[in-house]
Amino acid sequence: MRAAVLTHTGQIDIEDRPVPSPAPGDVLVRVSSVGVCGSDTHYFRHGRVGSFVVKAPLVLGHEAAGTIVAVGDGVSTSRVGQRVSIEPQRPNPESAESRSGHYNLCPQMQFYATPPIDGALCDYVTIGAAFAHPVPDTVSDEAAALCEPLSVGIAAVRKADVAGGSRVLIAGAGPIGIMVAQVARAYGATEIVVTDLDEARRERAAAFGATSVVDPMAQDVSGLRVDAFIDASGAPAAVAGGMQAVRPAGTVVLVGSGAETMSLPTQLIQNRELVLTGVFRYANTWPTAIALIRSGRVDLDAMVTARFPLEKAAEALDSDQTAGSVKAVVQVS
């Protein structure tokens, strides 16, 4: 099979590799679509994301969908031919975190495209059968692949305790910020304010569910008194400013990956009894993601702004620098 392999920083080579065989409990998926994530571009350009460092050739890509073509022992052959969205995680089912339902935090996690685990920019991948989620024919291959970033949005909105009538502030109008805005709207938020320094991104957020958009350099948001603030930027200034806007007993959720450390207004957190938490990937989100897509409550197809064949994976990884880019997808098959 073909595999797009990160061999050196900034270099992707197309290699011939053996088709993997599904182990017991696994399925073999012929990959159709793979979304390009910010972590992929960081590995491509810098060879690392935080403490995760590329030390050997690596196949990138963890936002993936495809069709099951074979199954391992213990998996029903009736699954062959199913179109699926891949939840790109292999937790240890015996870890304390997995047993408590927080399998995304499993210390033995093997996650697609996180060194040294290969990802999905190739023709075939294997995954545990329970992590290959069937999708209806009304869901496109691209939308099925984008269940992964949508799941980040779902995890964030759940952590923020968004419900009908909630007022939400979101910092950052990149792909994750847009996902969060769409999910917040689907969960019943009636006021969704999105901040971003870039005018085009603010306009994009308005098209995807924001009830208002703000240039944080031109307008102070500290007086909003929202129920929840969700940071999808990773920028220390955005986090500090957003926290000022949260009402007493409100919630702050950190999603964006940026600075490894930052200063926080501890007296504000104490005096308002703010709940401060983070999001690391997701758990138990795929059924909700598929239901939101199928119902039309979120629109993932409209987020795709560029498509590339596998042979042009390097161009796909650089496409976020193109004006107007939201989400690039590699069409593998």
Domains along the chain with CATH numbers: 2-146+300-331 (3.90.180.10), 151-278 (3.40.50.720)
Per-chain mean pLDDT for the chain? 96
Please report which confidence band the pLDDT of residue 323 belongs to, taking 50, 70 and 90 as the band edges. confident
pLDDT of 261 reads 87
CA-CA distance, 88 to 128, in Å (whole number)?
A: 9
Q: Write the single-letter amino acid at 135.
A: V
Q: Is residue 258 pLDDT above 80, yes or no? A: no
Could you tell me whether strands 83-86 and 89-90 are parallel, antiparallel, or unpaired per DSSP bridges? unpaired
> 265-313 pLDDT, tens per residue?
999 999 999 999 999 999 999 999 999 999 999 999 999 999 999 999 9
pLDDT of 260 reads 80
Cβ atoms of 25 and 15 within 8 Å: the answer is: no
- Of residues 316 and 260, the one with the higher pLDDT is 316
What's this model's pTM, rounded to 2 decimal places? 0.96
